[in-house]
Chains A and B, each alone.
Chain A
């Protein structure tokens, strides 16, 4: 096993003066998918935003062996961090093509063919304003913005949130394709998708890491899953909540 791509050591973050992430430590493996799990409001999104410097943070973060915790957001991303935010955050007034063009980082933008192959619909709708797309299509734009570049790691926050089951499968398939070439830190509430994609899981509870280990170890243990995530596995996975 090679060294982890992302090492998070004692990361804390605050929003409006309030501590929302407390001394979180975990690693993202150099390959495959690491899932960041936890009940609503435990600080998963805040952890990702803190990694990117989008909110005030403290602690140590290493990307491929180099510290990034003092860098401004755009510099972190330029080092090869692809980000798919929780609520898609596509630019509604821009076309699909413009959303993608904006995301392209010069020589890093080697993923155009992959994007066209994974999301042919976006090619057809290149000239349509992103604001007029369906939720699923917007999510594809958001994921495509990350996949259009060659990245060192992807940070993906609830990519299947609010999507119809069929679309959830499309998204999961696209992420599986991406995971073959780039490590992913994935926040996901749909445990079926987690089971499908994740190799390792990290579980947060009120801003702290309470569990780390192989995905199967957690998901196959009904009692543990219930205790940590407050959900039962298997049965109610369709909408993940």
Chain B
């Protein structure tokens, strides 16, 4: 029983990480049709920013931890917004080129990170409580899992509230459905593109700092390895669907943990799940049947 609880909570924590990456991927694809392969770099950059800050402030204090989360999120937001403004915007509607540019950016940034921080892991320090465990239904759960799950839940709520209650949110929801009609109502939809990139970058940057505590270190490849699963999650959930991304994140994270523990085949199970979903529901769990051109 305690093992099951531990696996479930750890899986939820991993799912939370996936969601922090996948939410942005899904929103960006949904609105703009852009597959952003550079999204992992926003995460890694956020993680390194958090790492540098805690290193300077003395990593085991709570204020330093919170500040590192804020900084990671902010760095992710700025990096993503700049990527949209400087690179993606010039390639409006040219999807192949956009893919090439984001792949190129991700390769270049990984090389850049290796140049600055080296390819070895940079170990992070955190408040002692994060490394301790809490008793839950007989299982001893590492506390960082709760922080991860809480943060992802807050991000989900925040994005949902933003989409529901702000004018930009309204524009984004409408744009995901029919971008041309949004412009035909007199709205410059490109401003929403920048906002969506910034939101995705915020979640990824925050996810980067949290991932560095989950794994205990930052490496230049941190974002890339999470990005693969985040893409799978996004496809399973249905490209463009935030709720789909949330559900699929949890499903993939939990399934992966259990499969890893009992049979050691977590990644294989995830790929099988992907194949199964694509066979039964090609547009993903909550994806629209017709993908907008």
A77–B178 CB distance below 8 A: no
CB-nearest residue of chain A to B181: A89
Residues of A within 8 A of B180 (CB): 54, 73
- In the assembled complex, B3 has its CB within 8 A of some CB on chain A: no
In the bound assembly, the distance between CA atoms of A134 and B65 in angstroms comes to 53
CB-nearest residue of chain A to B187: A74
- In the assembled complex, B183 has its CB within 8 A of some CB on chain A: yes
Nearest Cβ in chain B — how far from A194, in angstroms?
Answer: 24
B181–A77 CB distance below 8 A: no
In the bound assembly, the distance between CA atoms of A93 and B187 in angstroms comes to 18
CB 8 Å contact bits of A98-118 with B (1 = contact, 0 = none) = 100111010000000000000
Nearest Cβ in chain A — how far from B177, in angstroms?
Answer: 5
- In the assembled complex, A26 has its CB within 8 A of some CB on chain B: no
B188–A91 CB distance below 8 A: no
CB-nearest residue of chain B to A54: B180
Q: A74-B189, A91-B173, A93-B173 are in contact. Are A102 and B184 (CB under 8 A)?
A: no
B184–A83 CB distance below 8 A: yes
In the bound assembly, the distance between CA atoms of A94 and B169 in angstroms comes to 11
CB-nearest residue of chain A to B175: A91
In the bound assembly, the distance between CA atoms of A218 and B44 in angstroms comes to 69
- In the assembled complex, A44 has its CB within 8 A of some CB on chain B: no
- In the assembled complex, A92 has its CB within 8 A of some CB on chain B: yes
Residues of A within 8 A of B170 (CB): 94, 98, 101-102
In the bound assembly, the distance between CA atoms of A72 and B182 in angstroms comes to 13
In the bound assembly, the distance between CA atoms of A102 and B97 in angstroms comes to 31
A94–B181 CB distance below 8 A: no
B181–A85 CB distance below 8 A: yes
A77–B185 CB distance below 8 A: yes
- In the assembled complex, A52 has its CB within 8 A of some CB on chain B: yes
Q: For this complex, into which size category does the number of interface residues on chain A fall?
A: 20 to 34
- In the assembled complex, A57 has its CB within 8 A of some CB on chain B: no
In the bound assembly, the distance between CA atoms of A54 and B178 in angstroms comes to 13
Most buried by A among B173, B177, B182, B188: B177
Across the interface, B186 reaches (CB within 8 A) one of A85, A89, A94, A105, namely: A105
CB 8 Å contact bits of B260-284 with A (1 = contact, 0 = none) = 0000000000000000000000000
CB-nearest residue of chain A to B177: A91
Residues of B within 8 A of A83 (CB): 184-185
Residues of B within 8 A of A94 (CB): 170, 173-174, 177
B177–A93 CB distance below 8 A: yes
In the bound assembly, the distance between CA atoms of A94 and B177 in angstroms comes to 9
Chain B, 182-217, CB within 8 A of any chain A CB: 182-189
CB-nearest residue of chain B to A146: B185
- In the assembled complex, A208 has its CB within 8 A of some CB on chain B: no
- In the assembled complex, A145 has its CB within 8 A of some CB on chain B: yes
Q: A73-B184, A89-B181, A91-B181 are in contact. Are A102 and B174 (CB under 8 A)?
A: yes
- In the assembled complex, A78 has its CB within 8 A of some CB on chain B: yes
B173–A103 CB distance below 8 A: no
A91–B174 CB distance below 8 A: yes
- In the assembled complex, B171 has its CB within 8 A of some CB on chain A: yes
CB-nearest residue of chain B to A99: B174
Residues of B within 8 A of A98 (CB): 170, 173-174
Most buried by A among B171, B174, B178, B181: B181
Across the interface, B182 reaches (CB within 8 A) one of A52, A92, A102, A105, namely: A102
Nearest Cβ in chain B — how far from A49, in angstroms?
Answer: 9
In the bound assembly, the distance between CA atoms of A177 and B181 in angstroms comes to 25
CB 8 Å contact bits of B148-191 with A (1 = contact, 0 = none) = 00000000000000000000001101100110111111111100
Residues of B within 8 A of A74 (CB): 183-189
Chain A, 125-149, CB within 8 A of any chain B CB: 145
CB 8 Å contact bits of A21-56 with B (1 = contact, 0 = none) = 000000000000000000000000000000010100
CB 8 Å contact bits of A174-192 with B (1 = contact, 0 = none) = 0000000000000000000
In the bound assembly, the distance between CA atoms of A74 and B180 in angstroms comes to 10
Residues of B within 8 A of A102 (CB): 170-171, 174, 182, 185, 187
**Residues in B lying within 8 Å of A, measured CB to CB:** 170-171, 173-174, 177-178, 180-189
Give 28 CB contacts A-B under 8 Å. Answer: A54-B180, A72-B183, A73-B183, A73-B184, A74-B185, A74-B186, A74-B188, A77-B183, A77-B184, A77-B185, A78-B186, A83-B185, A85-B181, A91-B177, A91-B178, A91-B181, A92-B177, A93-B177, A94-B174, A98-B170, A98-B174, A101-B170, A102-B170, A102-B182, A102-B185, A102-B187, A103-B185, A145-B185
Task: List the 8 closest pairs (A to B, CB-CB), nearest first.
Answer: A77-B186, A73-B183, A78-B186, A91-B174, A89-B181, A74-B183, A74-B188, A103-B185
